[in-house]
Amino acid sequence: MQYRPLRFFWIAELSGGTAIAQFDPDTGEEVQGHPDWLPSKTDENGMIVKDGKKVPYREAYPVPQHFRGKQIVRIGWYPFNPGLAKKILAATGKLVIPSEANPTVIDLGNNEEPVCYRSHAIKLKMKSGGIEYAETVYVLGIKGKPLKFLDEDGGSVNADIR
Protein backbone atom coordinates (compact mmCIF):
# COMPACT_ATOMS: atom_id res chain seq x y z
CA MET A 1 0.00 0.00 0.00
CA GLN A 2 1.46 3.37 -1.00
CA TYR A 3 -0.62 5.51 1.34
CA ARG A 4 -1.91 5.46 4.90
CA PRO A 5 -5.57 4.48 5.14
CA LEU A 6 -7.87 7.36 6.02
CA ARG A 7 -9.36 7.44 9.52
CA PHE A 8 -11.58 10.52 9.20
CA PHE A 9 -13.40 12.40 6.45
CA TRP A 10 -14.69 15.97 6.38
CA ILE A 11 -18.28 17.14 6.37
CA ALA A 12 -19.07 20.82 5.80
CA GLU A 13 -22.43 22.31 6.68
CA LEU A 14 -23.36 25.26 4.47
CA SER A 15 -25.60 28.24 5.01
CA GLY A 16 -29.11 27.42 3.87
CA GLY A 17 -29.15 24.11 5.74
CA THR A 18 -27.30 21.94 3.21
CA ALA A 19 -24.14 19.91 3.76
CA ILE A 20 -21.48 18.24 1.68
CA ALA A 21 -19.21 15.38 2.70
CA GLN A 22 -15.85 14.27 1.35
CA PHE A 23 -17.46 10.93 0.40
CA ASP A 24 -20.97 10.46 -0.95
CA PRO A 25 -22.80 8.47 1.75
CA ASP A 26 -24.89 6.58 -0.83
CA THR A 27 -22.20 5.59 -3.34
CA GLY A 28 -18.85 5.91 -1.52
CA GLU A 29 -17.49 8.09 -4.36
CA GLU A 30 -15.17 10.90 -3.31
CA VAL A 31 -16.52 14.40 -3.91
CA GLN A 32 -14.34 16.06 -6.51
CA GLY A 33 -14.57 19.79 -5.99
CA HIS A 34 -12.30 22.62 -5.05
CA PRO A 35 -14.34 25.10 -3.02
CA ASP A 36 -12.66 28.20 -1.63
CA TRP A 37 -11.97 26.65 1.77
CA LEU A 38 -10.07 23.57 0.63
CA PRO A 39 -6.31 23.95 1.05
CA SER A 40 -4.34 24.87 -2.03
CA LYS A 41 -0.73 24.92 -3.07
CA THR A 42 -0.72 28.60 -4.01
CA ASP A 43 2.26 30.91 -3.93
CA GLU A 44 2.21 34.32 -2.25
CA ASN A 45 0.38 35.78 -5.26
CA GLY A 46 -2.42 33.19 -5.24
CA MET A 47 -1.00 31.35 -8.25
CA ILE A 48 -0.86 27.57 -8.71
CA VAL A 49 0.93 25.39 -11.24
CA LYS A 50 -1.55 23.46 -13.38
CA ASP A 51 -0.68 21.66 -16.59
CA GLY A 52 2.85 23.07 -16.41
CA LYS A 53 1.96 26.77 -16.17
CA LYS A 54 1.15 29.23 -13.38
CA VAL A 55 -2.47 30.33 -13.26
CA PRO A 56 -4.68 31.95 -10.61
CA TYR A 57 -6.09 29.35 -8.20
CA ARG A 58 -9.72 30.21 -9.05
CA GLU A 59 -8.98 29.82 -12.77
CA ALA A 60 -7.47 26.37 -12.18
CA TYR A 61 -10.23 25.29 -9.79
CA PRO A 62 -13.44 27.31 -10.20
CA VAL A 63 -15.93 27.26 -7.32
CA PRO A 64 -18.50 24.53 -8.07
CA GLN A 65 -22.07 25.72 -8.63
CA HIS A 66 -23.36 24.13 -5.40
CA PHE A 67 -20.96 26.29 -3.33
CA ARG A 68 -21.63 29.64 -4.98
CA GLY A 69 -23.30 32.18 -2.71
CA LYS A 70 -23.03 29.93 0.35
CA GLN A 71 -20.85 30.04 3.41
CA ILE A 72 -19.54 27.20 5.53
CA VAL A 73 -21.10 27.51 8.98
CA ARG A 74 -19.76 24.27 10.50
CA ILE A 75 -17.03 21.82 9.50
CA GLY A 76 -15.46 18.78 11.07
CA TRP A 77 -13.64 15.49 10.88
CA TYR A 78 -15.90 12.44 11.24
CA PRO A 79 -14.95 8.79 11.69
CA PHE A 80 -15.93 6.20 9.10
CA ASN A 81 -18.56 3.61 9.96
CA PRO A 82 -18.22 0.06 8.56
CA GLY A 83 -20.97 0.54 5.95
CA LEU A 84 -19.41 3.66 4.44
CA ALA A 85 -15.95 2.05 4.57
CA LYS A 86 -17.23 -0.86 2.42
CA LYS A 87 -18.87 1.52 -0.08
CA ILE A 88 -15.67 3.57 -0.42
CA LEU A 89 -13.53 0.47 -0.98
CA ALA A 90 -15.96 -0.80 -3.63
CA ALA A 91 -16.30 2.58 -5.38
CA THR A 92 -12.74 3.89 -5.22
CA GLY A 93 -10.45 1.08 -4.13
CA LYS A 94 -9.34 3.25 -1.19
CA LEU A 95 -8.96 1.56 2.17
CA VAL A 96 -10.43 3.52 5.08
CA ILE A 97 -10.52 2.40 8.70
CA PRO A 98 -13.82 2.58 10.59
CA SER A 99 -13.70 3.60 14.25
CA GLU A 100 -15.84 4.67 17.16
CA ALA A 101 -13.91 7.92 17.67
CA ASN A 102 -15.90 11.06 18.33
CA PRO A 103 -16.21 13.65 15.56
CA THR A 104 -14.31 16.91 15.98
CA VAL A 105 -16.37 19.85 14.74
CA ILE A 106 -16.09 23.66 14.80
CA ASP A 107 -18.65 26.40 14.15
CA LEU A 108 -17.71 29.36 11.96
CA GLY A 109 -18.93 32.93 12.20
CA ASN A 110 -19.53 35.36 9.36
CA ASN A 111 -16.51 35.77 7.10
CA GLU A 112 -14.43 33.24 9.07
CA GLU A 113 -12.38 30.96 6.85
CA PRO A 114 -12.04 27.29 7.84
CA VAL A 115 -8.80 25.35 7.78
CA CYS A 116 -9.36 21.63 7.23
CA TYR A 117 -6.74 19.28 5.81
CA ARG A 118 -4.68 16.15 6.41
CA SER A 119 -0.93 16.15 6.66
CA HIS A 120 1.70 13.48 7.15
CA ALA A 121 5.42 13.11 6.97
CA ILE A 122 7.26 10.80 4.62
CA LYS A 123 10.64 9.71 5.94
CA LEU A 124 13.33 8.50 3.57
CA LYS A 125 15.71 5.88 4.95
CA MET A 126 19.00 6.80 3.33
CA LYS A 127 20.91 3.64 4.31
CA SER A 128 18.23 1.14 3.32
CA GLY A 129 16.64 3.21 0.56
CA GLY A 130 13.21 2.62 2.05
CA ILE A 131 10.33 4.97 2.69
CA GLU A 132 8.35 5.24 5.91
CA TYR A 133 4.91 6.84 5.96
CA ALA A 134 4.42 8.52 9.33
CA GLU A 135 1.06 8.87 11.07
CA THR A 136 -1.45 11.22 9.49
CA VAL A 137 -2.41 14.37 11.38
CA TYR A 138 -5.87 15.87 10.83
CA VAL A 139 -5.90 19.68 11.08
CA LEU A 140 -9.00 21.75 11.84
CA GLY A 141 -9.58 25.36 12.78
CA ILE A 142 -10.24 28.89 11.66
CA LYS A 143 -7.70 30.85 9.63
CA GLY A 144 -5.77 33.23 11.87
CA LYS A 145 -6.67 31.37 15.10
CA PRO A 146 -5.03 28.44 16.90
CA LEU A 147 -5.59 25.16 15.06
CA LYS A 148 -6.54 21.72 16.40
CA PHE A 149 -4.29 18.80 15.48
CA LEU A 150 -5.77 15.30 15.76
CA ASP A 151 -3.98 11.97 15.64
CA GLU A 152 -5.38 8.95 13.82
CA ASP A 153 -7.43 7.99 16.89
CA GLY A 154 -9.02 11.44 17.19
CA GLY A 155 -6.89 12.59 20.13
CA SER A 156 -5.16 15.95 20.32
CA VAL A 157 -1.51 16.19 19.41
CA ASN A 158 1.01 18.99 19.47
CA ALA A 159 2.15 19.68 15.95
CA ASP A 160 3.95 22.27 13.92
CA ILE A 161 2.42 21.77 10.49
CA ARG A 162 2.02 24.55 7.96
Q: What is the pLDDT of residues 32-72, one digit of tens each?
A: 655 444 544 556 666 777 788 888 766 776 666 666 677 88
pLDDT, position 64: 62
Q: Which pTM value belongs to this model?
A: 0.73
d(CA 98, CA 111): 33
pLDDT, position 39: 46
Higher pLDDT, 124 or 135: 135
For the chain, give the mean pLDDT: 81
Residues 139-158, buried b or exposed e (16+ Cβ, 10 A)?
bbbbeeeeebbbebebeeee
d(CA 78, CA 150): 11
The residue-averaged pLDDT of 135-140 equals: 88
The phi-psi region of residue 93 (left if phi > 0; otherwise alpha if psi is between -120 and 50; otherwise beta) is left
Which amino acid belongs to residue 112?
E
